[in-house]
């Protein structure tokens, strides 16, 4: 087996055109399939440990949740450039690569994406090729992973491919378990030399324990209970069934004019229920608990089309993009609050024991019963203008029309006397500009400056925050200012660096005194990022990055004085480095380190997660050209750490020393 390259030379997602990364006026990190396999990365959280400027959240133990440049989101996820915004853990089994684009991205991706987005690029069927492979892995916690990838040339014009995986989940936490699997058949059909049709269907099924970590004590995570489960086994569960279908049409009118259009229909059915800690008292030896049961059904229908022309007008070269997007997202969400029989309330304080002895409870009362229909239409234009050999201007604008209608059944039942009749709606029309100036003193070096704007409607990233008050408020606005440098030190080695400022106006954050409500606030994140990716020497691949983030509120006043706070879950310093070195033709080693400085668990800045440094290592051995064995050791020195939180009393504990044994075969 041949060691793959970590460096990807071009991206389509950043501009919707095939553009070398050195000509993109934006910070972009790409994790290749080779690095995903080398490190046995299993989910988005693993990926972000090696992405400067981005960090993971706990996601309440049932979803991907990320913070990019200080902006927390559960919805800025895309697959092949199309929205994939329901809350769940996204598997990585069927990917060619993962792209993390930092900075506001409304021109390319539409609403949201204020701090950045994550786009997964999936594998597709190839014509005139037949190949396959499989992976089996097991770790010292007992997790088992199996995956397969098979491509068949059905004819000279038809290719068929199937990717599938199964994983039995386990970790260091008491009572934690789960199973997930997915399958993704694709087909590619060539209708002549200039036309292609690509169809795909993916089914994802995920059933696991919801674990919301440990509470805090006197301003820090509770220590000494790394394995203790502050929930109810059998009750803390989440399930997901997702059906995602896509049909893509591509046509080349000529060498300079191409068109593509994609139709996606996705159906998600999500449930999670949990009991979780809201406090701990070591003097009284008690812990306090809360809980709820939540269901979401969503259907996404999205149509997107792009016309790309490459040509010249006089001395100017152009890559002109004209595009449109239409979407209809229908969502039903319901929540039932918990009821503890002894306290006759939705919260209870009990004597602490390990495991917890939780008294009788049920989920009888609806606290939310909403349905929404969000419809959007967008048109956009972008031109990448080459001026001579040294200058490129990237300029574009997007218009979005976003409309949402909400039916709140609880408010309907309550009547309109409180000013809310249960019928809410909001329409927004927004322009999102982008401009980038690139100077290339030589072909392998670019200096750039850019500005981009994005917006987020008041319904929030999950369509749940519209109210009679927010119904009258303009969308949140994100403005990203950035200057940077990209330098291809060698054909397979790239260094990138950027300084940026991201301003957010009319933002919202959970009220730490009442997490069910939000506080209006502005914020500013200023920072610096640098990343080195590629092959330093033949057989030595590296991905190293560092980010500095200074993220604070803007305009918060208490007692007639400014009282801005640090944004939650934003480590000031993050550093990561992963190396793969081939010692011989068949034997290689890997070693890496991640460091994260301390961060606040919530906006009230009362609980701080301590800094940590974690080391990982790996051994690779090729039994033959087609079979590889590897051992990945995580947390090599058994560091105690807390990688993420959701609030002051839901804090994840890091996995102790563990190892994963993997065998890969190809044919």
Per-residue pLDDT tens over the stretch 312-350:
999 999 999 999 999 999 999 999 999 999 999 999 999
Q: Mean pLDDT over residues 567-594, rounded?
A: 96
Is residue 218 included in any domain, yes or no?
Answer: yes
Q: Mean pLDDT over residues 210-227, rounded?
A: 97
| pLDDT, averaged across the chain | 94
| Long-range pairs, 636-643, Cβ under 8 A, ≥24 | 639/612, 639/613, 639/614, 639/615, 640/223, 640/226, 640/612, 641/610, 641/612, 641/614, 642/213, 642/221, 642/609, 642/610, 642/612, 643/56, 643/596, 643/612
Q: Mean pLDDT over residues 73-83, rounded?
A: 95
Q: Mean pLDDT over residues 53-63, rounded?
A: 94
Is residue 614 included in any domain, yes or no?
Answer: yes
Question: What's the pLDDT tens digit per position in 442-486?
Answer: 999 999 999 999 999 999 999 998 988 888 888 999 999 999 999
Q: What are the phi and psi torsion angles at 385 (to 5°)?
A: -105, 120
Count the domains in the chain: 1
Is residue 1 included in any domain, yes or no?
Answer: no
Is residue 4 included in any domain, yes or no?
Answer: no
pLDDT value of residue 396: 97
pLDDT higher than 70, residue 512: no
Under DSSP, the state recorded for 655 is P
Is residue 651 included in any domain, yes or no?
Answer: yes
pLDDT value of residue 506: 76
Token pair listed for 10: 């071009």
pLDDT value of residue 14: 75
Q: What is the CATH number of the domain that holds 371?
A: 2.40.170.20
Note whether 656 and 635 are within 8 A (CB): yes
Question: What's the pLDDT tens digit per position in 385-409?
Answer: 999 999 999 999 999 999 999 999 9
Is residue 626 included in any domain, yes or no?
Answer: yes
Q: Mean pLDDT over residues 560-566, rounded?
A: 86
- Helix (H), strand (E), coil (C) string for 135-171: EEEEECCCCEEEEEEEEEECCCCEEEEEEEEEEEECC
Q: Mean pLDDT over residues 157-177, rounded?
A: 98
pLDDT value of residue 558: 80
pLDDT higher than 90, residue 262: yes
Note whether 531 and 52 are within 8 A (CB): yes
Is residue 3 included in any domain, yes or no?
Answer: no
Which SS3 state, helix, strand or coil, does residue 570 take? coil
| Long-range pairs, 419-428, Cβ under 8 A, ≥24 | 419/468, 420/467, 420/468, 424/466, 424/467, 424/468, 424/471, 425/471, 426/457, 426/458, 426/459, 426/466, 426/471, 427/401, 427/402, 427/403, 428/400, 428/401, 428/402, 428/403, 428/455, 428/457, 428/474, 428/475
pLDDT higher than 60, residue 3: no
Q: Mean pLDDT over residues 595-624, rounded?
A: 97
Is residue 527 included in any domain, yes or no?
Answer: yes
pLDDT value of residue 472: 86
pLDDT band at 1; cut points 50, 70, 90 = very low
Q: Mean pLDDT over residues 531-547, rounded?
A: 96
- Structural domain of 213: 10-666
């Amino acid at each position: 087996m041949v060691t793959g390259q970590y460096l990807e030379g071009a991206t389509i997602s950043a501009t919707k055109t095939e553009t070398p990364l050195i000509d993109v006026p934006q910070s972009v990190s790409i994790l290749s399939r080779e690095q995903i396999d080398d490190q046995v990365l299993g989910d988005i959280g693993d990926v972000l440990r090696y992405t400067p400027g981005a960090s993971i959240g706990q996601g309440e133990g049932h979803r991907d949740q990320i913070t990019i440049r200080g902006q927390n989101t559960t919805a800025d996820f895309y697959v092949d450039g199309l929205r994939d915004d329901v809350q769940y853990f996204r598997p990585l089994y069927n990917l060619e690569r993962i792209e993390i684009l930092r900075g506001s991205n409304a021109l390319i991706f539409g609403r949201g994406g204020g701090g950045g987005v994550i786009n997964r690029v999936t594998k597709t069927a190839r014509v005139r090729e037949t190949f396959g492979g499989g992976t089996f892995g097991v770790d010292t916690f007992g997790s088992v992973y199996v995956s397969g990838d098979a491509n068949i040339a059905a004819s000279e014009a038809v290719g068929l491919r199937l990717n599938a995986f199964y994983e039995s989940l386990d970790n260091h936490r008491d009572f934690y378990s789960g199973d997930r699997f997915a399958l993704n058949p694709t087909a590619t059909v060539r209708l002549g030399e200039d036309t292609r049709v690509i169809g795909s269907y993916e089914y994802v099924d995920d059933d696991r324990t919801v674990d919301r970590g440990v509470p805090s004590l006197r301003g820090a995570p509770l220590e000494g209970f790394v394995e203790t489960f502050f929930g109810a086994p059998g009750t803390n569960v989440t399930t997901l069934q997702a059906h995602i279908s896509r049909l893509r049409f591509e046509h080349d009118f000529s060498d300079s004019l191409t068109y593509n259009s994609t139709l996606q229909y996705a159906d998600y059915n999500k449930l999670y229920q949990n009991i979780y800690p809201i406090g701990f008292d070591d003097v009284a030896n008690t812990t306090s608990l809360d809980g709820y049961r939540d269901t979401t059904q969503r259907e996404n229908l999205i149509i997107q089309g792009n016309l790309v022309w490459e040509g010249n007008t006089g001395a100017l070269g152009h890559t002109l993009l004209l595009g449109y997007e239409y979407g209809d997202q229908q969502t039903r969400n319901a929540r039932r609050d918990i009821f503890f029989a002894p306290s006759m309330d939705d919260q209870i304080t009990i004597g602490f024991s390990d495991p917890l002895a939780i008294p009788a409870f049920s989920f009888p009362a609806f606290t939310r019963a909403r349905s929404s229909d969000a419809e959007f239409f967008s048109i956009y234009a972008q031109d990448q203008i080459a001026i001579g050999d040294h200058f490129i201007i990237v300029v574009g604008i997007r218009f979005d029309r976003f409309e949402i209608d909400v039916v709140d059944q609880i408010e309907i039942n309550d009547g309109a006397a409180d000013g809310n009749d249960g019928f809410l709606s909001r329409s927004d029309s927004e322009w999102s500009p982008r401009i980038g100036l690139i100077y290339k003193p030589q072909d392998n070096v670019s200096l750039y400056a850019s500005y981009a704007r994005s917006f987020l409607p008041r319904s929030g990233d999950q369509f749940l925050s519209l109210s009679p008050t927010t119904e009258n408020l303009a969308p949140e606005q994100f403005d990203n200012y950035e200057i940077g440098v990209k330098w291809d030190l060698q054909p397979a080695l790239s260094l990138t660096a950027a300084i940026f400022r991201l301003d957010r106006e009319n933002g919202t954050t959970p009220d730490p005194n009442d997490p069910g409500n939000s506080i209006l606030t502005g914020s500013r994140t200023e920072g610096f990022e640098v990343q080195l990716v590629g092959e330093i020497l033949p057989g030595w691949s590296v991905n190293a990055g560092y980010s500095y983030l200074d993220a604070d509120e803007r305009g918060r006043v208490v007692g007639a004085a400014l009282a801005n706070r640090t944004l939650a879950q934003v480590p000031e310093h993050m550093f990561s480095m992963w190396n793969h070195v081939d010692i011989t033709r068949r034997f290689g080693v890997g070693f890496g380190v991640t460091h994260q400085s301390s961060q606040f668990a919530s906006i009230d800045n009362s609980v701080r997660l301590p800094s940590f440094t974690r080391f990982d290592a790996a051994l690779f051995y090729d039994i033959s050209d087609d079979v590889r064995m590897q051992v990945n050791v995580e947390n090599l020195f058994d560091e105690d750490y807390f990688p993420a939180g959701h609030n002051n009393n839901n804090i994840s504990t890091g996995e102790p020393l563990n190892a994963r044994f993997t065998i890969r075969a190809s044919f």
